[in-house]
Amino acid sequence: MTAILDLAPTTQRRGRRTAGLARRLCAGVLVALVLFALVGPFVLGDPAAQSLDRFLEAPSLAEPLGRDDYGRSVVSRLAHATRLSLVLAALCVATALVIGTASGVLAAWRGGWVDAVLRSVSEVFVALPALLIVLLVAALSDGDLWTLYVGLAVAQWVEYFRVVRARAALVLGSPAVEVAGLLRLGPWHVVRRHLWPELRPALTTLASLGMVTSILAMSTLGFVKVGLEPPRAELGLMITESFPYYDVAPWMSLAPVAVLFLLTVCFLGLRRTEDA
């Protein structure tokens, strides 16, 4: 029995070391992808530039990922598509986080009819599948980037609202906050000293999940040709356009699939570490 109890801390330390190593690995790969997305578009040229005489050219030192059916550089299109996915996902997550957090804190703080109205609005969004909301907005957007951004942000804000409202209600009803109210320390003190430390881990986890959700949703819409339209470089569109040539040019589809896989694993890896 004593030996088992002695092994428990050792196992926990190994688990923390493994989680830390996985977090550093995910962060390193994610930094590399972000640098590729930020720097690549400035050094790799126009992603829409065609050279039909280089139709389905195989990878080489000059073109590490070859060229597609229009003779366009696959690595250049991949850099622009990765930047588009990361920037749009970050905007969607930031918008949903701000709206969901502000409305969640407001509902928990004020209560009464404010809470009832906000909760009723959130239940409407919960009843509708997120992908259905995005599909409806995307169908109306006609390939417009900003409308797609609004659809993805609107589909995600309710997750932040529900989590923040539940946790904020517990914090605001705690004895520490009651004492702060008696001492007239003000709302900013309550937010800075009590609400933010409690909400930050949950918001970090939700933001990591939101990045994955936004990137995959945008790629899925592009894959089924409902989201952004050609010739824009987008990961889902690149996969769809490459399928007819998979037998003779597999690099065209493997490259965007690999980027999607790495982005998903890295963001989920960071989330698991944050939970730990």
pLDDT in tens, 159-204: 999 999 999 999 998 888 888 888 888 888 888 888 899 899 999 9
pLDDT band, residue 84 (cuts 50/70/90): very high
pLDDT for 20 equals: 81
pLDDT for 141 equals: 64
Report yes or no: 88 and 145 within 8 Å, Cβ to Cβ: yes
CA 266 to chain CA mean position, Å: 11
- Which one is predicted more confidently, 133 or 103? 103
Share of the chain above pLDDT 90, in %: 33
Domains of the chain: 26-40+70-270 (1.10.3720.10)
The mean pLDDT value of the chain amounts to 85
pLDDT band, residue 146 (cuts 50/70/90): confident
| Closest among 90, 100, 28, 76 to 215, alpha carbons compared | 90
pLDDT for 117 equals: 93
Report yes or no: 208 and 268 within 8 Å, Cβ to Cβ: yes
